[in-house]
Amino acid sequence: MKRTIIILFFLTAAVALTAQEGKKLTILHTNDFHSHMQGLAPESAYTPLVADNDPTLGGLARIAGIIADVRKENPGSTLVVDGGDCLMGTLFQALEPETGFQIPLMKKAGYDVVAMGNHDFDFGPEAYAGILRKASQRGEIPVILMGNAVTDPDDPSDDAFEALQTDGLVKRSIIREVNGIRIGIFSLLGKDADESAPYAPPVTFEKIIPAARKLVKELKKEGCDMIICLSHSGVSRDKKGNWGGEDVELATKVRGIDIIISGHTHTYLKEPITVSGVPIVSTGSAGLNIGRMDITYTGSGVRLDKYMMIPVDDAALGVESIQKEIEEQKLAVDRIVLSPLKLNYDMPVTIAPFRMEVDEYGDLAASNLGPLIADAIHYYVNNYGPGTDIAMVAAGVIRDPVLPGIQSVADIFRVMSLGSGNDIVPGYPLSRLWVTGRELKNIAEILIMSSASTPSHFCYYSHLRIDYDPEGGLLKKIRKMEFTDADGNVTEVNTSKDDTRLYSIVANSYMLDFVGIIKKMSLGLINVVPKDGNGNPISDMDLAVMDFDPDIAGMQQGKEWLALVRYLQQFAPPEDGGLPVIPEQYRTPPRSLSAIVTK
């Protein structure tokens, strides 16, 4: 009897000790991968299967290698997730509607769960449904989550997306058991991401706080030990330097979430932000880093033991089978998309002697990349297309920086990768319309006003210089506008309502659609009437899309990224020959939009 009591005592102690030690879990996470299968610039140096100190960061083959190493280290206790926007951002996106290539490859790379983001709707919900159907036909895919999407039962244009939900290819949440831990995972798409998804309708998105409360309640009811939210909503610092944003609010207002894996704002968090006891993590973008969370689950809750950011650099040996499939898809991109343009994926275009970028959360006016792109569009339209007086480009469509070194076609495309037109060539088509000097001022006033709260609306101009007073009144900030004609003559733009001179402006079709709704946006305070070259009003903005070769049947659209390629190709090479070099004048170019202070 005494011996039995002793045995029971030790067994009870062992169980208690095990419970105290808890069950271990390692979570690997990324967000905003944006199809950067070959890493981030310069791709010409990318060698994922060889450790040769190449400077290119990221790449799916390397990510797969890191995942495989961690799974080997922690067999049966590793979970791999992505926080949204895995698609859209490189030339690979061009063939996604026909091939569904990337998502099954992410499963092969080791991903378990992938959240949807706003850019998954860039081709519209119908097209995304087609991509996912194609992907599932290629092989096994990760669990795809979208927790707060709302479809319209009366609108047939989202029926294909509804069918994904019905068939379980897109889920609101998922429960996974890993190392004996019952883990509930759900995803959200936040307000700013929603506003950055112009082609998502008729799909809309429930507000994230009430949606999260419902999902947490459902998962708790299912007996989950741990709840993870993949929130494509984001965090950022406020004017005082404190962390804020939708995911901070989410952690504050919704109880029951143990971890928030954040995306959308491309924020790099070396360490988690802890809000109301909830760690919020984010790896930046483009697959440059993988976040690693080592966690212990005990009966009393979840404990974060260790967090680290794993750089996806040359130290990570890539998985050969993954890279082989990527190389094969590159050849398909060459054959179908680039060959008709007399380009290929790896073709060197120019040498960048310095870094060029647009920092959407920094000093946008100081960007050297924005002015280069505006000049490129102006050059392209006037040398390859029907011509324009002024070119403009918004900060929000400039996606990647230009890093020093040789820039290939693939590198240049990533800078301006958004959108699609009516052909296989990816990218927003360029459009042209005519406005008076007064209307031109009105457009610039609206963009200045809106960029104060939405930095992506900040605009760069070519052949137009604007002085404005940030302290000026509502829609009365602009002090002077100067136009430079093709011969270099500078004249002040007459903004009187009596002046009838028309100026042609070119931008991508999405931005000029914005011009067409300025009256509505300004609550009737401002009216801009888009016109054709004869001064006739344009009611259908599709008619403003330019045809770059009227002699060929159909519409031959021009694209922003192609404008950048053609502009860079015409720069002078060094005296000893070689590739064109981006001129020194673009290291610190003149500002087209200058803030002045008036008394």
Distances from the Cα of 585 to the Cα of 69, 368, 591, angstroms: 46, 9, 12
Q: How many CB atoms lie within 10 A of CB 497?
A: 10
Predicted TM-score (pTM) above 0.85: yes
What pLDDT, on the 0 to 100 scale, is given for residue 522?
66
The DSSP bridge partners found for residue 185 are: 174, 228
What pLDDT, on the 0 to 100 scale, is given for residue 343?
96
Tell me the C-alpha distance between 390 and 200, whole Å: 31
What pLDDT, on the 0 to 100 scale, is given for residue 18?
46
What pLDDT, on the 0 to 100 scale, is given for residue 10?
43
What pLDDT, on the 0 to 100 scale, is given for residue 241?
87
Matching residue, tokens 């750089």: 311
Locate the domains of the chain by residue range: 22-323, 347-595
Domain 347-595, CATH homologous superfamily name and number: 5'-Nucleotidase, C-terminal domain (3.90.780.10)
What pLDDT, on the 0 to 100 scale, is given for residue 518?
67
Distances from the Cα of 128 to the Cα of 263, 338, 423, angstroms: 19, 23, 17
What pLDDT, on the 0 to 100 scale, is given for residue 281?
98
DSSP sequence for 119-159: GGGTT-HHHHHHHHHHHHHHS--PEEE-SSEE--TT-GGGH
* CATH number for domain 22-323, candidates 3.60.21.10, 3.30.1330.100, 3.60.150.10, 2.10.77.10: 3.60.21.10
**Residue ranges in the chain whose pLDDT is less than 70:** 1-20, 514-524, 598-599
Tell me the C-alpha distance between 357 and 242, whole Å: 25
Q: How many CB atoms lie within 10 A of CB 33?
A: 30
